[in-house]
A = this chain, B = another copy of it.
Amino acid sequence: MLGQIARRRLGLLLLLHGQQRISNGLNRVSFNQLLSKETHRHMQSSFNTSSPISTMSLWPFSFQPRDFSLPNSSWSPEMCKAYDHYNALCDTDTENGEEKKRGPWKKLPSYNRSIKYATGGIHLSKLIQAKARLFTRNVKEQGATFEYVVFVNKEEKSCVCVFQAGRLLEGAPGHVHGGAIATMIDTVTGSLAGYLSGPIMTANLNIDYRSPMPLDSVVLIQSTLDRIEGRKTFITCKVTSTDESKLYTEATALFVSISVGHLFGTRN
């Protein structure tokens, strides 16, 4: 019990680490991704992200967080096929208790409130709007809005998201709202930037919409690191059909490294 409390306190410190690193100029950005690289690693080590059923023996809480990026009955055959393709390339397979190297990809878990499931975050989440929910996971009905799963490739410093657009994402009749596409681009490029650079905020999104995307489409959102310059992480992104024959959207994204204190006004 004491060990649990100690771990939770450590987690809180971990989440709020780097508070002193803030300097002027950083307030001219907005945020995207709060999880630190350390928190990400903790999450990834806590359960097998490449398996459809999470195992969390190291999890410090009494409940299992739900990973919303696992297959469900709303996923179309095309969505399942793309998931299976990248899942088969993930780096470990714990079948029969043995870990086998398979490839350079790693599936990232996806919760409906990131902070709650970071170590110690459950306490912080009560302070910061306990009933808040992640924008992309705020509708309970499976398949109605954003169904997606993100895989990162640490060797290539890239990631790919398989995204199925639900019927509640409509903009023009029968088609996906430009804001829903922007939301997924922010999410995917932010996941890669956060994975590579730790806590970051979105500073710029520049999105070219090339072709309207029908509702129920399954698309690939591929992001690649362009470069890192000091606190700036530049990412490129394209959204295509799963066979990559049709280009829907192209984008660039800029993220700026922050500490968590930046968000809550505790920086100097």
List the interface of chain A (C-beta within 8 A of B).
Answer: 27-34, 113-115, 124-125, 128-129, 131-136, 138-139, 144-145, 167-187, 190, 201-213, 215-216, 248-249, 262-264
Please determine whether B138 and A174 come into contact, CB atoms closer than 8 angstroms. Answer: no
Given known contacts A135-B180, A179-B179, A205-B205, A210 and B173 CB-to-CB distance under 8 angstroms: no
Protomer copies: 2
Please determine whether A186 and B175 come into contact, CB atoms closer than 8 angstroms. Answer: no
Please determine whether A184 and B179 come into contact, CB atoms closer than 8 angstroms. Answer: yes
User: Which residues of the partner chain B approach A113 to less than 8 Å between Cβ atoms?
Assistant: 170
Please determine whether B167 and A263 come into contact, CB atoms closer than 8 angstroms. Answer: no
Please determine whether B263 and A178 come into contact, CB atoms closer than 8 angstroms. Answer: no
Please determine whether B34 and A172 come into contact, CB atoms closer than 8 angstroms. Answer: yes
User: What is the CA–CA distance of A129 and B211 in the complex, to the nearest angstrom?
Assistant: 19
Please determine whether B178 and A202 come into contact, CB atoms closer than 8 angstroms. Answer: yes
User: Which residues of the partner chain B approach A29 to less than 8 Å between Cβ atoms?
Assistant: 209-212
Q: List 15 A-B contacts (CB under 8 A).
A: A30-B213, A30-B248, A31-B178, A32-B172, A129-B167, A129-B173, A138-B139, A138-B145, A172-B201, A177-B186, A179-B183, A182-B183, A183-B183, A201-B212, A206-B206
